[in-house]
Homo-oligomer: A and B are copies of this chain.
């Protein structure tokens, strides 16, 4: 009998489901469209059907719980709260909805960056680490902060929004309504904005000058940088400088052993990690220097989000065992 957890990653477009054991082996995965449903009850029914279908494909398993990563997922309330990129408006009590259908010992919800942090701790490079910070560099910048071996949720469940610390006073307009947030510079979107800005502000030669701004991707910028494109290289340097400074400030907060980088921009590997480390060290208070690592997430790309979500189950069971 294999003990497994179900991981569910809810995105604005798709919802991905996976069945995972404690070592991170994914036995089955599938999914449904998120965007196709306007009503949470219809969506839930479709999701339950997909879960049941996947569970039936594997013999000899015991499901211990369901972990869900979702935008604006609040661990304390078990609800998705006012997620701007989902059609389900207001407060959606997702854990309650799941508990009406399933009676597994552990059913829990958090946001995707927090799920990635727990996933790194359970399956990835942060095994055994008690103090680290996960930085997800996707459309935006998300973060999951671990202190003394526990995810930091704060008093209201919304801690860990490092994408919205102010990196540049009166800087770029952010989707949150304010200006200069870290994620407007350090994210896949931020990187493409930096390329557009550099096309305007410099005369650096670049193949990216021949691409429509709306079609430039972080992958394209990485490939250009690899081919020696001066403008693409400068865009990575600028991103690393702002990220490095922000990580130096974050270190003054919780003094982590490591930062893990995850997602699109992190796939650039040393192209982003090496200069970020250099700028972080340069801007750090001396007592922290040469102590803090920056590491590419070790969660396997294809299943990373589902692994992160499923890891909540093992974390919940571990906490329950400690308090028993």
Binding site for B on A (CB under 8 A): 82, 130-131, 145, 147-148, 150, 152-162, 164-166, 169, 176-178, 245, 248-250, 252-257, 283, 285-288, 291
Q: Are B253 and A155 in contact, with the CB atoms below 8 A?
A: no
Whether A152 contacts B287 in the complex (CB less than 8 A), given A147-B147, A169-B169, comes out as: no
Q: Which B residues are in CB contact (< 8 Å) with A155?
A: 130-131, 255-257, 291
A147: contacting residue among B152, B156, B252, B283, CB under 8 A: B152
Bound: A257/B157 CA distance, A: 11
Closest chain B residue to A81, Cβ basis: B287
Bound: A178/B245 CA distance, A: 12
Q: Which B residues are in CB contact (< 8 Å) with A162?
A: 252-253
A253: contacting residue among B131, B150, B253, B257, CB under 8 A: B253
Whether A161 contacts B257 in the complex (CB less than 8 A), given A147-B152, A169-B169, comes out as: no
Q: Which B residues are in CB contact (< 8 Å) with A254?
A: 145, 152, 154, 159-160, 253
Q: Which B residues are in CB contact (< 8 Å) with A148?
A: 147-148, 150, 152
7 nearest interchain CB pairs?
Answer: A154-B255, A159-B255, A155-B257, A131-B155, A165-B249, A161-B252, A164-B285
A156: contacting residue among B161, B169, B255, CB under 8 A: B255
Q: Which B residues are in CB contact (< 8 Å) with A152?
A: 147-148, 253-254
A160: contacting residue among B131, B161, B253, CB under 8 A: B253
